Amino acid sequence: MVRIIASASILICLLAGGALAAEPNPAAMKMVMDWKARLQLTDAQQDALLKLVDELGTKLDPLAEKIEAGEEVDKKAAIGQLKTVQAEFESGMKQLLTPDQQKEWEKIQTEIHGLILNQVGAKQVAKLKDPLKLSDAQLQQCVPVMAKKTGELMEYFSEVQEKKSDPPRNKRQERRAKISTVRGLKEITGEADEALRKIFTDDQWKQYEAIQEQQKAALKAKMQQGK
């Protein structure tokens, strides 16, 4: 399973400025302290973890600063950087932890991944609250649906990128690949829409469909401008 990318995402969100800077990031320090208790780290392991977090957090500072400032970010380059940082972080953790601690670390990563997806889902649903006049109960029901959709799309696009490393040998294969991609996206979005349809009223669903069409038109226009 592709997890994009819990550790790197946490670093982006929490570790800008470095955990060992003159003014340590409180959220980063709390995270490390929580990990220490859960992984039963020795003092030496804790020091090594803080150093690892500081080094990798510093590498992400420029990207984090751009995101905070609202500057345009090269998404492809950013994803590549996140993957590189995650690989370095995971390598460091494997050297740092015992086999039993590594098993617990994998559980922590899964929990972090779920937390991130829920946060993303909550933000997506919040954008629909006013246009659709969603109730608080509807908001709570929509969040896990959006979180699941986001996670599946992230994994799907990651798989598509991996397949691109083995490009089609002819136009027929290229066409089949495009059809397969479209079908995969429709399957994921279709499952989410089916779940949302049960949550929304008829009027809310019509408004949601209109918003979706507007977003598709805006995306198509943007892609045409980029040609």
Q: What is the DSSP string of 61-130?
A: HHHHHHHHHT----HHHHHHHHHHHHHHHHHHHHHHS-HHHHHHHHHHHHHHHHHHHHHHHHHHHHHHHH
Question: Does 164 share its domain with 84?
Answer: no
pLDDT the model gives residue 144: 93
Structural domain of 142:
133-227
Q: Express each pLDDT in 54-111 by its tens digit.
A: 777 777 777 766 665 666 767 677 777 777 877 888 898 899 999 999 999 988 888 8
Confidence (pLDDT) at 68: 58
Q: Are residues 93 and 153 in the same domain?
A: no
* Residue that terminates a domain, selected from 97, 118, 148: 97
**Residue that finishes a domain, picked among 50, 76, 97:** 97
Residue 2 has what pLDDT?
Answer: 38
Residues of the chain with pLDDT under 70: 1-29, 64-71, 73, 75, 160-182, 223, 226-227
| Measured CA distances, 132 to 32, 140, 188, 212 (Å) | 40, 14, 22, 12
